[in-house]
Amino acid sequence: MSDLQYQLDLVKAMNKKISESERMYRLIVEQASLSFIYYSYEKDQYLSMGSFKKVFGFDIEDRSDVERFFGCFESNKESRVREVFFSENFSTKEEAVDTMDSVGKRWFRIICTKIYDNGKLTDKVVKIIDISRDMSRSEELLYMAYYDSLTGIYNRNYFITLLDGFIADAKEKGDKVALITIDIDDFKKVNDGLGMIIGDEFLQQFGSYLKELQDDRVLVSHVSNDIFALGIYNPYGDYESSHFIDTIRTRLKEPFKMHSGQEVNVSVSFSVAEFPDAGQAAQELVGCGDIAMFKAKTLGNNQVLYFDSKMLEDFMSNVNLENKLSDAVVNHKFEVYFQPQYHANSQTLRGFEALIRWKDDEKGFISPSEFIPIAEKNGSIIPIGNYVLDKAVRQYSEWREKYNFDFTMSINISAVQYKREDFVDNVMAVIKKYDVDPKNIELEITESILIDDFELVTKKLKILRDFGIKISLDDFGTGYSSLSYLMKFPIDTLKIDKTFVDSVLHDNSTRIILDSILNMSHDMGFESIAEGVESENQYNYLNDKGCNVIQGFLLGKPLPAAEIIEILETNAKANA
């Protein structure tokens, strides 16, 4: 190979290497979403590089293209870009600006670097970095800090900050601030019945509606799932809490229309807590609002409750009771009493209802009507219920043995116990444990267990009845009871609520209802029991109308097991 040929090959190879590394360089720069504008002071020449063309749609070749580049920015940003680009008085070599292009709302950081050669300015490189992704993330974060993503109104945290602002102003000026908490009644039914998507759409629509009420004296927030809140500065005149409540109630008389065409109807409950009476800070108002709401919910739907100090006292004593209750569960401070039930006609003993008793060291007997709801809420009804079940079945087995007498032992079962997966097995296990005949054990349930899941409840009841256990529907007449509904429901016994017994002698409409309940019960083959019978007259009336069984103070109060023995002995003598 000649020398010349060798040198030519070398040059070719070098060129190839150079163009390869150039290509690599270009690729890397484009990959990194970097765009450059290069300017040579010596040649007065502009050039764009990297992904410039891809981003802006043109190349820079001369001064007019640079103007076109400036034109890509929003007018308020354009001057800043220009400044960075042209300023000759840089004390530093870099300058950055966040800017936005006019088309796609993109964000760029622009850094201008000047290159000096022996103190003489030779070149300028303007680096343009697309930071849109970072920006939209931080915008989003900013949004999430203040607004609820579902409804777009203030979230809980920011609402509290703003409400504290209201309170600070009110403190200075001697004004008031009201917090209205809005809780959608039975929202679970909307979600379960129409689906979560409709549920969410409803919350959005309701949120947008509430937002219309917002102005510089009214804050609107989506606090959590189905809870909204209004904060009102100086709630007087047009800004009175009751005024907002009426407005919202009027709106709720009309259904909300979903995109799918479905209509959603709801009612809501309101609580109102005011600065300065209910608290000195937003959090305190929220706490008092929650207490009032808690109380409102126990009264049913569509309630309005204004917080007052009595509510706080009740709440605290409930909390106190709850603490005592856990202590009672741990230290077994319960006992079971038994109340006799008699066949109305023959006045012979039918059996007993087991009723729990709790004697507190300080407060004495605490009524189950008071503590059972708390136990249901915090779950301690499970150990309590198991205790009663075990105790009552064991007691039955003992008495059955001793007096050789078949009677019925009725045991109250809470909906919470009933819902447990192991409930049916649990009951059967106790019955087997004490080796009793299931037909002598009766479970008293209330209609409230049917509300959530009719199918599942009915299935469980059928298993229990097939096993031989009797089912009694307690407090009949106080719930939603309807005839058609009862037909589907596998029960043996109907317990007519005390409220009917109380007023039957002097209230004509009660009499009509009671008579028809007794007829219906008879026709459907249920055994009827009237509870809370206190007088001879009530007894006679019920007996005449064909009520099967009577329970009440007239014939016997609930008593501890030791005192029941007397009844059982009398009974045994009468049967002998």
Q: Where do contacts with ligand C2E occur on this chain (CB under 6 A)?
A: 339, 355-356, 367-369, 372, 385, 388, 412-414, 474-475, 531-534, 552-553, 558
Angstrom CA distances, 70 to 99, 125, 255, 306, 395, stand at 11, 16, 52, 60, 93
Distance CA 489, CA 369 (A): 26
- For residues 436 and 458, is the Cβ–Cβ distance under 8 A? no
CA 469 to chain centre: 36
- Hey, what are 214's tokens? 């917002």
515 or 534: whose CB is closer to ligand C2E? 534
- Hey, what are 193's tokens? 């019945």
The binding track of 432-471 with respect to Ca ion, each residue x by CB under 5 A or -, is: ------------x---------------------------
185 or 444: whose CB is closer to ligand C2E? 444
Min dist CB 387 to ligand C2E, Å, is 8
Min dist CB 496 to Ca ion, Å, is 9
Min dist CB 412 to ligand C2E, Å, is 4
Angstrom CA distances, 153 to 148, 344, 538, stand at 6, 63, 59
73 or 423: whose CB is closer to ligand C2E? 423
CA 218 to chain centre: 25
HEC string for 217-273: CEEEEEEECCEEEEEEECCCHHHCHHHHHHHHHHHHCCCEECCCCCEECCCEEEEEE
The binding track of 471-490 with respect to Ca ion, each residue x by CB under 5 A or -, is: ---xx---------------
Which one, of 325, 298, 326, lies nearest residue 311 by Cα? Answer: 298
Which one, of 87, 81, 88, lies nearest residue 109 by Cα? Answer: 81
- Chosen from ligand C2E, Ca ion, none, partner binding at 51 (C-beta under 5 to 8 Å by type): none
Distance CA 167, CA 238 (A): 19
Min dist CB 525 to Ca ion, Å, is 21
Which one, of 318, 292, 169, lies nearest residue 227 by Cα? Answer: 292
Min dist CB 497 to Ca ion, Å, is 6
- Chosen from Ca ion, ligand C2E, none, partner binding at 494 (C-beta under 5 to 8 Å by type): none
The residue assigned the tokens 């600065």 is: 275
328 or 372: whose CB is closer to ligand C2E? 372
- Chosen from ligand C2E, Ca ion, none, partner binding at 240 (C-beta under 5 to 8 Å by type): none
269 or 472: whose CB is closer to Ca ion? 472
Min dist CB 531 to ligand C2E, Å, is 6
- Chosen from Ca ion, ligand C2E, none, partner binding at 388 (C-beta under 5 to 8 Å by type): ligand C2E
Distance CA 256, CA 265 (A): 7
User: Can you list the pairs that 453-460 forms with residues at least 24 positions away whose Cβ atoms lie under 8 Å?
Assistant: 454/488, 457/418, 458/488, 458/489, 458/490, 460/418, 460/423, 460/424
Distance CA 503, CA 511 (A): 8
For position 185 contacting Ca ion by CB under 5 A, the verdict is no
For position 412 contacting Ca ion by CB under 5 A, the verdict is yes
Distance CA 494, CA 521 (A): 7
Min dist CB 456 to ligand C2E, Å, is 19
Is residue 435 helix, strand or coil? coil
Is residue 8 helix, strand or coil? helix
Total site size for Ca ion, rule CB under 5 A:
4
Min dist CB 266 to ligand C2E, Å, is 30
226 or 475: whose CB is closer to Ca ion? 475
Min dist CB 357 to ligand C2E, Å, is 7
- Chosen from Ca ion, ligand C2E, none, partner binding at 372 (C-beta under 5 to 8 Å by type): ligand C2E
183 or 474: whose CB is closer to Ca ion? 474
- Chosen from ligand C2E, Ca ion, none, partner binding at 89 (C-beta under 5 to 8 Å by type): none
- Chosen from ligand C2E, Ca ion, none, partner binding at 95 (C-beta under 5 to 8 Å by type): none
289 or 385: whose CB is closer to ligand C2E? 385
- Chosen from Ca ion, ligand C2E, none, partner binding at 538 (C-beta under 5 to 8 Å by type): none
414 or 440: whose CB is closer to ligand C2E? 414
163 or 413: whose CB is closer to ligand C2E? 413
228 or 358: whose CB is closer to Ca ion? 358
414 or 521: whose CB is closer to ligand C2E? 414
- Chosen from Ca ion, ligand C2E, none, partner binding at 35 (C-beta under 5 to 8 Å by type): none
Min dist CB 493 to ligand C2E, Å, is 13
- Hey, what are 528's tokens? 């009827």
- For residues 206 and 198, is the Cβ–Cβ distance under 8 A? no
The residue assigned the tokens 């410039």 is: 52
Distance CA 416, CA 123 (A): 80
241 or 412: whose CB is closer to ligand C2E? 412
Distance CA 334, CA 353 (A): 16
Min dist CB 475 to Ca ion, Å, is 4
- Chosen from ligand C2E, Ca ion, none, partner binding at 367 (C-beta under 5 to 8 Å by type): ligand C2E
Q: What does DSSP assign to residue 267?
A: -
409 or 413: whose CB is closer to ligand C2E? 413
- Chosen from Ca ion, ligand C2E, none, partner binding at 231 (C-beta under 5 to 8 Å by type): none
- Chosen from ligand C2E, Ca ion, none, partner binding at 558 (C-beta under 5 to 8 Å by type): ligand C2E
Could you tell me which residues are beta bridge partners of residue 109?
98, 129
Burial per residue of 394-418, b for 16 or more beta-carbon CB atoms within 10 angstroms, e otherwise: ebbbebbeeeeeebbbbbbbbbbbb
Query: Residues 6 or more apart from 201 whose CB is under 8 A from it?
Result: 258, 259
Is residue 468 helix, strand or coil? coil
Query: How does DSSP assign 341-398, residue by residue?
Result: EEETTT--EEEEEEEEEEEETTTEEE-HHHHHHHHHHHSTHHHHHHHHHHHHHHHHHH
Min dist CB 324 to ligand C2E, Å, is 17
- Chosen from ligand C2E, Ca ion, none, partner binding at 356 (C-beta under 5 to 8 Å by type): ligand C2E
Min dist CB 474 to Ca ion, Å, is 4
For position 226 contacting Ca ion by CB under 5 A, the verdict is no
Give the interface with Ca ion as residue ranges (CB under 5 A). 412, 444, 474-475
